[in-house]
Amino acid sequence: MKIIGLNDQEVEAALRSAGLGLSVSEARSIAEVLGRDPTVPELFNYDTMWSEHCSYKSSRATLNEFLHTTGPNVVQGPEEDAGIVAIDDEWCVVIAHESHNHPSQILPNEGAATGIGGIVRDVNCMGAKVVATADPLRFGDPYGEDKNHVRWVAEGVVDGIWQYGNALGVPIIAGDVVFDDSFDTNCLVNVVAIGVVKRGEIIKSRAPAGAGEKGYDVIVIGKPTDSSGFGGVTFASEELREEDEEANRGAIQIPDPFLKNVLFKANEALFQLTRQEGITIGFKDLGGGGFTCASSEMGASAGYGMDLDLDKLHKASENLPPEVVACAETQERFMLICPPELTPRVLEIYNEDWDLPNVYEGARASVVGKVTTNGRYITRYRGKVTCDVSIEHLTKGIRYAREERPRKTSLSEPVITAPDDLTDALLKVLASPNVSSREHIYRYYDTEVQGNSVIRPGEADAGLIAPVRGEKFGIALSVDANPFYGRISPYWAGATAVAEAMRNVAAIGAYPATLTDCLNFGNPEKPEAFWEFRECVKGLADAAKALWLKGYEDTPVPIVSGNVSFYNESPDGTVDPSPIIACVGLIDDVRDAVTMNLKKAGDSIYLIGPRFDELGGSEYYRTVYGVTGKNVPEVRFELERNMIYAVIDSIARKLVVSTHDISNGGLGATAAEMALAGKGDLGMELALDSAGSDLSADRLVFSESSGFLLECKEEAEEELEKLLKGYGLDIMCLGKVAESPELVMTHKGKTVLRMDLETAKKAWTGGLAEAMR
Partner 1 sequence: MKIAVVQFPGTNCEHETLVAARSAGLSGEIFRWNRPAEELSDFDGYIIPGGFSYQDRLRAGAIASKEPVMEALREEAELGKPIIGICNGFQILVESGLLPGLDGVNVALAQNVMVSKGEIVRRGFYCAWTTLRHESPPKRCSGSFLLEKGDLIRMPLAHAEGNLVTADERLMDRLNEENQVVFRYCSEQGEVDDEFPVNINGSLENIAGICNPEGNVLGMMPHPERSSFAFQLPPTDARKCVGDMGAAGPGRRVFESMKRYIEVRR
Q: How far is the CB of 258 from partner 1 (least distance, A)?
A: 4
Q: How far is the CB of 153 from partner 1 (least distance, A)?
A: 18
Asked if residue 73 lies in contact with residue 560, where contact means CB atoms within 8 angstroms, the answer is: no
Of 215, 209, 421, which is closest to residue 303 (Cα–Cα)?
209
String marking each residue 210-249 x if it binds partner 1 according to CB under 8 A? ----------------------------------------
Stretch that binds partner 1, among 6-14, 98-106, 452-460, 731-739 (CB under 8 A): 452-460
Complex with partner 1: residue 496 or 595, whichever CB lies closer: 595
Complex with partner 1: residue 153 or 263, whichever CB lies closer: 263
Q: How far is the CB of 228 from partner 1 (least distance, A)?
A: 18
From residue 619, give the alpha-carbon distance in Å to each of 180, 311, 419, 597.
Answer: 11, 58, 16, 22
- In eight-state DSSP terms, residue 352 is I
Q: How far is the CB of 679 from partner 1 (least distance, A)?
A: 6
Q: How far is the CB of 465 from partner 1 (least distance, A)?
A: 10
Q: Per rule CB under 8 A, is residue 444 in the interface with partner 1?
A: yes
441: part of which helix (H) or strand (E)? helix 439-442
From residue 422, give the alpha-carbon distance in Å to each of 620, 629, 670, 742.
Answer: 11, 19, 15, 14
Residues 263-292 that bind partner 1 (CB under 8 A): none
Q: Per rule CB under 8 A, is residue 399 in the interface with partner 1?
A: no
Q: Per rule CB under 8 A, is residue 167 in the interface with partner 1?
A: yes
Complex with partner 1: residue 444 or 727, whichever CB lies closer: 444
Catalytic residue annotation: 53, 100
Q: Per rule CB under 8 A, is residue 258 in the interface with partner 1?
A: yes
Q: What does the chain come to in residues? A: 773
Stretch that binds partner 1, among 37-45, 92-100, 384-392, 445-453 (CB under 8 A): 445-453
Complex with partner 1: residue 74 or 349, whichever CB lies closer: 349
520: part of which helix (H) or strand (E)? strand 511-520
Of 371, 310, 309, 313, which is closest to residue 339 (Cα–Cα)?
371
Q: How far is the CB of 602 from partner 1 (least distance, A)?
A: 18
Asked if residue 18 lies in contact with residue 300, where contact means CB atoms within 8 angstroms, the answer is: no
Q: Per rule CB under 8 A, is residue 595 in the interface with partner 1?
A: yes
String marking each residue 668-697 x if it binds partner 1 according to CB under 8 A? ----------xx------------------
Q: Could you say which of 157, 207, 338, 455 contacts partner 1 (CB under 8 A)? A: 455
Cα–Cα distance, 555 to 615 (Å, whole number): 31
Give the CA dihedral 424, 425, 428, 433, nearest 10 degrees: -160
Identity of residue 355: D
Q: How far is the CB of 220 from partner 1 (least distance, A)?
A: 20
Complex with partner 1: residue 341 or 352, whichever CB lies closer: 352
Cα–Cα distance, 43 to 300 (Å, whole number): 18
Q: How far is the CB of 741 from partner 1 (least distance, A)?
A: 15
Of 134, 140, 131, 81, which is closest to residue 108 (Cα–Cα)?
140
Q: Per rule CB under 8 A, is residue 353 in the interface with partner 1?
A: yes
Q: Per rule CB under 8 A, is residue 605 in the interface with partner 1?
A: no
Give the residues across from 193 on adjacent strands. 96, 133
Q: Per rule CB under 8 A, is residue 590 in the interface with partner 1?
A: yes
Q: Could you say which of 180, 181, 226, 459 contacts partner 1 (CB under 8 A)? A: 459
Q: Per rule CB under 8 A, is residue 597 in the interface with partner 1?
A: yes
**Phi then psi for 768, rounded to 5 degrees?**
-75, -40
Q: Per rule CB under 8 A, is residue 625 in the interface with partner 1?
A: no
Q: Per rule CB under 8 A, is residue 162 in the interface with partner 1?
A: yes
Q: How far is the CB of 773 from partner 1 (least distance, A)?
A: 11
Q: Could you say which of 19, 199, 254, 261 contacts partner 1 (CB under 8 A)? A: 261
Neighbours of 221 (CB within 10 A): 26
Q: How far is the CB of 472 from partner 1 (least distance, A)?
A: 6
Cα–Cα distance, 588 to 738 (Å, whole number): 32
Q: How far is the CB of 459 from partner 1 (least distance, A)?
A: 5
Q: Per rule CB under 8 A, is residue 469 in the interface with partner 1?
A: yes
Q: Could you say which of 137, 168, 233, 387 contacts partner 1 (CB under 8 A)? A: 168
Q: Per rule CB under 8 A, is residue 765 in the interface with partner 1?
A: no
Per-position b or e across 93-117, b if 16+ CB within 10 A of its CB:
bbbbbbbbbbbbbbbbbbbbbbbbb
Asked if residue 95 lies in contact with residue 568, where contact means CB atoms within 8 angstroms, the answer is: no
Of 182, 247, 741, which is closest to residue 490 (Cα–Cα)?
182
Of 193, 83, 183, 103, which is closest to residue 137 (Cα–Cα)?
183
Q: Per rule CB under 8 A, is residue 472 in the interface with partner 1?
A: yes
Asked if residue 561 lies in contact with residue 169, where contact means CB atoms within 8 angstroms, the answer is: no
- What phi-psi label fits residue 169: left (phi over 0), alpha (psi between -120 and 50 degrees) or beta? left
Stretch that binds partner 1, among 164-172, 223-231, 723-731, 734-742 (CB under 8 A): 164-172
Q: How far is the CB of 765 from partner 1 (least distance, A)?
A: 12
Q: How far is the CB of 334 from partner 1 (least distance, A)?
A: 17
Complex with partner 1: residue 166 or 555, whichever CB lies closer: 166
**What is the distance, to the nearest Å, from the Cα of residue 681 to the centroid of all Cα atoms in its chain?**
36
Query: Is 670 in a helix, a strand, or coil?
Result: helix
Complex with partner 1: residue 213 or 439, whichever CB lies closer: 439
Stretch that binds partner 1, among 55-63, 353-361, 662-670, 691-699 (CB under 8 A): 353-361
Identity of residue 741: P
Q: Per rule CB under 8 A, is residue 727 in the interface with partner 1?
A: no
Cα–Cα distance, 526 to 186 (Å, whole number): 17
Cα–Cα distance, 486 to 497 (Å, whole number): 10
Stretch that binds partner 1, among 94-102, 143-151, 420-428, 454-462 (CB under 8 A): 454-462
Q: Could you say which of 12, 201, 355, 770 contacts partner 1 (CB under 8 A)? A: 355
Q: Per rule CB under 8 A, is residue 762 in the interface with partner 1?
A: no
Complex with partner 1: residue 32 or 439, whichever CB lies closer: 439
Number of residues that bind partner 1 (CB under 8 A): 40
Complex with partner 1: residue 444 or 637, whichever CB lies closer: 444
Cα–Cα distance, 131 to 173 (Å, whole number): 10
For 486-518, give the DSSP string.
HHH-HHHHHHHHHHHHHHHHHTTTPEEEEEEEE
Q: Could you say which of 200, 344, 451, 749 contacts partner 1 (CB under 8 A)? A: 451
Neighbours of 689 (CB within 10 A): 14
Asked if residue 361 lies in contact with residue 234, where contact means CB atoms within 8 angstroms, the answer is: no
Identity of residue 457: P
Cα–Cα distance, 558 to 77 (Å, whole number): 9
Stretch that binds partner 1, among 59-67, 305-313, 468-476, 558-566 (CB under 8 A): 468-476
Asked if residue 503 lies in contact with residue 643, where contact means CB atoms within 8 angstroms, the answer is: yes
Give the CA dihedral 421, 427, 428, 430, nearest 10 degrees: 140
Complex with partner 1: residue 108 or 289, whichever CB lies closer: 108
**What is the distance, to the nearest Å, from the Cα of residue 238 to the centroid of all Cα atoms in its chain?**
21
Stretch that binds partner 1, among 228-236, 465-473, 484-492, 617-625 (CB under 8 A): 465-473
Stretch that binds partner 1, among 316-324, 390-398, 443-451, 609-617 (CB under 8 A): 443-451
Complex with partner 1: residue 587 or 729, whichever CB lies closer: 587
Asked if residue 128 lies in contact with residue 268, where contact means CB atoms within 8 angstroms, the answer is: no
**What does the binding site for partner 1 look like in residue numbers (CB under 8 A)?**
162, 166-169, 257-258, 261-262, 353, 355, 359, 442-456, 459-460, 466, 469-472, 590-591, 595, 597, 678-679
